[in-house]
Amino acid sequence: MRPSTSLCSLAALLAFALPSAPAAEANPIWSTPESARSENPDFALQGEYGSTTPGAPTGAQVVALGDGKFEAHLFDGGLPGLGWTREKTHTLLTGSGNAGTASLASADGKITATIANNKFTLNGAAPLPRIERASPTLGAPAPKGATVLFDGSTADLWDNGKVENSLLAASNATSKPRFRNYSAHFEFRTPYKPFARGQDRGNSGIYHGGRWETQVLDSFGLKGEQNECGGIYSIAAPRLNMCLPPLTWQTYDVDFTNATFDAKGKQTAWPRITVKLNGVLIHENLELNKENTTAAPLGGPLKDEDRPIFIQNHGNPVLFRNIWVLPRK
């Protein structure tokens, strides 16, 4: 039976008034390991496989790419920081899986691997167990004489500082205390964004003097470029990509030496920086030979002055904790 005009009008009105079903989230973000583990089965497969003993024959890093897709990076001589160097072989496998298992292969099909039961099995060899590395400086206490910029209780020492569940958000926060030469410790955690790529995957940064950025990014499994985690943005790539999987607490330990000037205020040397990412040396006494790196918020001519630390908001829920700075002469 054909509906009456009034009923058709009522249906049209309701269709216009009621919200449509929400579209599937195109780029979901998980900000805690608990939520990622319970809501996304790929999270349990991504991560590191191998030995924590240096010099193992092979290590693997498995990166989740969304919708059950994965890539695995094989490292000859062990995982980065445990034997592998840029001079050694690095092989890419790709594949997919579901229900807690995955199958991968190299482009030529000569190398195959499976992931199941927290083990990575390569070409039928002895399986590599899934491991979870932690930085040896995680939780490092502030030494005597240090300025504790954040201990989880308050963001009072930051302009535009924002606290979320006792953690400091990446919110374009600028430290109120200023520093010149120092040793500093930072702990950070990137979100899990399996569908994101490149600079959209957990982006933030720590700007020393508000000028020179040690990049924060979920670069797990990537090459380790100057614009990836561990890089000094637009100046130098790290010696190794020491980025750990997303939602893992990671550390930067930094020694920063300001530019030097003569009695007339003329610059005589560029700043220098030494950086450890997750306890591994990735830059040693590196000259920062620019007035500032890309997107630095506090530029201008260099002067003989104390400068703040800046934590960048790049649209990602990156979190920080345990930040302290020890001034040096």
Nearest to 137 by CA among 44, 240, 249, 237: 249
Rounded Cα distance between 59 and 142, Å, is 34
Residue 24's pLDDT is: 42
pLDDT values of the chain reduced to their tens digit, one per residue, 329 residues: 334 444 344 333 333 333 333 334 678 999 999 999 999 999 999 999 999 999 899 999 999 999 999 999 999 999 999 999 999 988 999 999 988 899 999 999 999 999 999 999 999 889 999 999 999 999 999 999 999 999 999 999 999 999 999 999 999 999 999 999 999 999 999 999 999 998 899 999 999 999 999 999 999 999 999 999 999 999 999 999 999 999 999 999 999 999 999 999 999 999 999 999 999 999 999 999 999 998 899 888 899 999 999 999 999 999 999 999 999 98
CA distances from 133 to 178, 243, 249 (A): 33, 11, 10
CA distances from 280 to 68, 128, 218, 253, 307 (A): 32, 23, 17, 9, 26
Name the E strands within 5-118: 47-49, 58-66, 69-76, 90-98, 101-105, 112-116
Residue 15's pLDDT is: 37
pTM, 2 dp: 0.90
Task: Give residue-wise pLDDT tens across range 53-88.
Answer: 998 999 999 999 999 999 999 999 999 999 999 999
Rounded Cα distance between 83 and 150, Å, is 34
**Residue 305 CB burial class (10 angstroms; 0-12, 13-18, ≥19):** exposed
Residue 27's pLDDT is: 86
Q: Which domains does the chain have, with CATH numbers?
A: 33-131 (2.40.128), 147-328 (2.60.120.560)
Rounded Cα distance between 128 and 115, Å, is 9
